Structure 1
Amino acid sequence: MENKPNWNQVIDKSLEVLRQSDKGYVLMDMYNNILSPEEAAFRKIQVVPYNALLFIKTQFAALGLDIADSNVRIKLIALLEEYDRISKKRRSE
C-alpha cells in the first residue's frame, strides 16, 4: 500500500511554523516543539533557534516539491488560481 503524504497537514504545519517565526527563525526545544520566547522563559526550557524556512523547505522536498525554487512557487500559484477559476465556472453552469 502506497503511503501518500497528507498535504493538508504539511501545509497547516508550515503555516503554523511561519506564523510563529521571527524573521524566519523559530525556537525549538530538544523534542522539536516550537516555543515562543515567553513560553520558553516561563517554563525555563532550553531552546535553540532554528531556521523555519529551511525546516519547511526540507519538509516539502521530502514529499517531492521544491518550494525553494521560485519558478515552482509561481507555477503552483498559477495552477491553484486556474483550478479555482475553472471550478467556479463549472459550478455556475
Structure 2
Amino acid sequence: MKWNTIIDKALEVLRSSDRGYVLMDMYNNILTPEEAAFNKVSVTPYNAMTFIQTQFSAMGLDISDKHVRIKLIALLEEFERLQKERVK
C-alpha cells in the first residue's frame, strides 16, 4: 500500500468520525450512521485512532509516539521551506 492511500484513508476516517469512533461494515467500509440506517447495514463502532495507528504502523511509522509526530511535522515544514527557496 502506498503512503498516499494511507493518508487519504486516515483523513476519511477523521472526517467520518464522531467523538473518535467510526462505523464500519463487515468489509471495513466506513459508513455514516445515516448510510447504515438507510441501507440497513450492520455496523460495528471502531476506534478511529486505533484504526489510523494500525494503518501507519503497518507501513512502519509509529504515529502514536508524540516525538515521531513532532519530528514528522518539523520535516514537512523544512521540506516546504526548501521547496519555496528552490523556486526563487
- Bin of the TM-score, shorter chain as denominator length: over 0.9
Q: Which runs of 5+ in 2 are unaligned?
A: none
**2: distance between equivalents of 1:90 and 1:46?**
52
Structure of higher CA gyration radius: 1
Q: Percent identity?
A: 69
Q: Secondary structure at the match of 1:31?
A: coil
Partner of 1:17: 13
Q: Which runs of 5+ in 1 are unaligned?
A: none
Q: TM-score, normalised by structure 2?
A: 0.96
Give matches, 1:55-66, under 5 Å: 55-66=51-62
Q: TM-score, normalised by structure 1?
A: 0.91
Q: Does residue 48 of structure 2 align to residue 48 of structure 1?
A: no
**1: distance between equivalents of 2:3 and 2:28?**
20
Q: Does residue 49 of structure 2 align to residue 91 of structure 1?
A: no
**2: distance between equivalents of 1:75 and 1:21?**
26
The alignment's C-alpha RMSD in Å is 0.8
How many residues align? The count is 88
